[in-house]
C-alpha cells in the first residue's frame, strides 16, 4: 500500500510539472484544391480590406489582404500586382482614391494597373471567447477566436462582380494546469492570425471557381510595323503560337436612369499570333490582319 501511495505521489508531482498544452485548428493551405489555369495567368490586384469590426483597427484589414495574396501566390496561377504600384500610379496621374475600390472605380484602377481583376473585401466579424473547466487535479482553459471575411471578385473590363462570398475561420488554444502548475494562458496574438488564415483558406476554393468566369486579356504596349508588343509574355504563360484577336474599346455606355456604367462597345480591329518574348513578361505578336492598331488596344484569346 505504501508503494502505491509513493507511486501516486510521484505521478502527481510529474504531472504538476507538466507544461500547458496548446491545441490549434488543423486548417491549412494544403486543404485548398490545387488551381490549374487553362490559359495564361490572370493579373490580379488585391486591395486592402476594410475592417468593419471594432478590433485591430487598420492592421486587421491589411493582414487579411496579405494572407490572401500569399495563398493565391501558392497556386501558381496568378500574377499579383503590389499595392505600392497603385500608390505610385495614383501620384503620377494626380488621382485621389478615397474609400474602398468599388465596381464603379475598378475599371479605371484596373486600366492603370494593367489588371484583369481586382479583389476587394472586408473583415465583418472577429471575436475571442474563453471557456474554462476546473476539476480536482486539473484545470483547463480554451481560448477560441472566430473570424468572418467577405470577398468580391471584380472584372475590371466591365466593373461587374464575377463572384462574391464569405469565409469563416476558427482557431483554438487549450491550456491545462496540473495541481496549479503550468501556464495560465494569457492572450496569444498568434490565435487571431490563425483564425484569419483559416477564414482565407476556407474561402479560397469558391474564389478560385469565380476566376473561371473571368476572360483573360492583355494590352498592346507598342506597335512597330506588323509587330505588336504586348504586356504579357513568358511569365504569364502566354505560349508561342497562341492566336489572339485585337479589340478596341469605345466610350463607356451609361444607364440614363442611374448614371452607372453598363459597359463599353468593343470592336475587332485585327488579329495575330504570338511569335516571341521580350523583357520580364512581354511578348511579340505578328500581325495577320488589321491596321491602325494602337497602344492600349485589348488582345483576347478569341
Asked whether residue 12 is assigned to any structural domain, the reply reads no
Asked whether residue 114 is assigned to any structural domain, the reply reads yes
Are 157 and 32 in a shared domain? yes
Are 254 and 130 in a shared domain? no
**What share of residues in the chain are helix, strand, coil (percent, to 5)?**
25, 40, 35
Are 48 and 138 in a shared domain? yes
- DSSP three-state, residue 17: coil
Compare 80 and 38 and report the one with higher pLDDT: 80
Are 250 and 152 in a shared domain? no
**Contact partners, residue 179, CB within 8 Å, separation at least 6:** 12, 15, 16, 137
> Which residue among 181, 213, 245 closes a domain?
213
Confidence of residue 204 (pLDDT cuts 50, 70, 90): very high
Asked whether residue 2 is assigned to any structural domain, the reply reads no
Are 221 and 291 in a shared domain? yes
Asked if 13 and 20 count as a contact pair (C-beta separation under 8 A), the reply is no
Q: Is the dihedral of CA 290, 296, 297, 300 positive or negative?
A: positive
Are 80 and 209 in a shared domain? yes
CA distance 82 to 89: 11
Best-predicted range by mean pLDDT (2-16, 80-94, 145-159): 145-159
Asked whether residue 1 is assigned to any structural domain, the reply reads no
CA distance 295 to 298: 9
CA distance 174 to 184: 10
Are 35 and 61 in a shared domain? yes
> Which residue among 155, 185, 213 closes a domain?
213
Please state the pTM of the whole predicted model. Answer: 0.76
User: Which CATH number is 33's domain given?
Assistant: 3.40.50.10610
Query: Per-residue pLDDT tens for 115-124?
Result: 899 998 899 9
Asked whether residue 271 is assigned to any structural domain, the reply reads yes
> Which residue among 153, 180, 213 closes a domain?
213
Are 108 and 159 in a shared domain? yes
Provide the number of structural domains found in the chain.
Answer: 2
Query: Per-residue pLDDT tens for 232-242?
Result: 999 999 999 99
- Please name every residue paired with 188 in a beta bridge, in sequence order, or none if there are none: none
C-alpha cell, 64: 487579411
Are 208 and 230 in a shared domain? no
Phi, psi (rounded to 5 degrees) for 240: -60, 135
User: Which CATH number is 266's domain given?
Assistant: 2.40.10.410
Mean pLDDT score, 84-104:
59
- Please name every residue paired with 183 in a beta bridge, in sequence order, or none if there are none: none
Are 47 and 104 in a shared domain? yes
Query: Per-residue pLDDT tens for 259-280?
Result: 776 777 889 999 999 999 999 9
- The domain of 229 spans 217-300
Are 36 and 76 in a shared domain? yes
Give the distance, in angstroms, between the CA of residue 279 and the centroid of all CA atoms in the same chain.
26
Are 71 and 203 in a shared domain? yes
C-alpha cell, 148: 468572418
DSSP assignment of 49-106 equals PEE-SSSSTHHHHHHHHHHHHHHHHHHT-EEEEPHHHHHHHHHHTT----SS--TTTH
CA distance 111 to 43: 11
* Residue 133 confidence (pLDDT): 63
Asked whether residue 4 is assigned to any structural domain, the reply reads no
Asked whether residue 13 is assigned to any structural domain, the reply reads no
Examine the pLDDT at 28 and tell me if it is beyond 60: no
Amino acid at each position: 500500500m505504501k508503494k502505491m501511495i509513493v507511486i501516486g505521489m510521484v505521478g502527481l508531482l510529474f504531472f504538476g510539472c507538466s507544461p500547458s498544452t496548446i491545441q490549434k485548428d488543423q486548417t491549412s493551405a494544403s486543404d485548398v484544391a490545387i488551381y490549374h489555369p487553362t490559359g495564361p495567368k490572370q493579373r490580379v490586384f488585391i486591395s486592402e480590406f476594410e475592417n468593419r469590426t471594432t478590433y485591430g483597427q487598420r492592421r486587421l484589414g491589411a493582414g487579411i489582404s496579405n494572407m490572401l495574396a500569399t495563398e493565391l501566390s501558392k497556386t501558381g496561377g496568378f500574377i499579383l500586382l503590389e499595392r505600392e504600384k497603385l500608390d505610385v500610379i495614383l501620384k503620377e496621374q494626380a488621382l485621389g482614391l478615397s474609400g474602398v475600390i468599388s465596381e464603379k472605380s475598378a475599371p479605371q484602377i484596373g486600366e492603370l494597373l494593367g489588371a484583369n481583376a481586382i479583389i476587394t473585401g472586408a473583415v465583418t466579424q472577429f471575436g475571442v471567447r474563453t471557456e474554462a473547466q476546473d476539476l480536482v487535479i486539473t484545470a483547463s482553459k480554451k481560448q477560441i477566436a472566430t473570424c468572418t471575411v467577405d470577398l468580391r471578385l471584380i472584372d475590371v473590363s466591365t466593373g461587374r462582380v464575377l463572384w462574391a462570398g464569405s469565409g469563416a475561420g476558427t482557431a483554438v488554444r487549450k491550456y491545462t494546469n496540473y495541481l496549479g502548475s503550468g501556464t495560465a494562458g494569457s492572450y496569444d496574438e498568434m490565435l487571431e492570425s490563425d483564425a484569419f488564415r483559416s477564414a482565407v483558406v476556407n474561402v479560397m476554393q469558391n474564389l478560385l471557381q469565380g476566376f473561371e468566369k473571368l476572360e483573360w486579356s492583355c494590352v498592346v504596349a507598342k506597335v512597330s510595323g506588323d509587330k505588336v508588343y504586348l504586356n504579357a509574355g513568358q511569365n504569364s504563360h502566354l505560349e508561342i503560337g497562341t492566336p489572339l484577336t485585337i479589340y478596341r474599346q469605345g466610350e463607356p455606355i451609361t444607364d440614363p436612369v442611374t448614371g452607372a456604367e453598363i459597359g463599353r462597345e468593343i470592336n475587332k480591329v485585327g488579329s495575330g499570333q504570338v511569335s516571341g518574348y521580350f523583357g520580364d513578361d512581354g511578348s511579340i505578336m505578328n500581325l495577320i490582319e488589321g491596321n491602325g492598331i494602337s497602344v492600349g488596344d485589348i488582345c483576347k484569346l478569341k
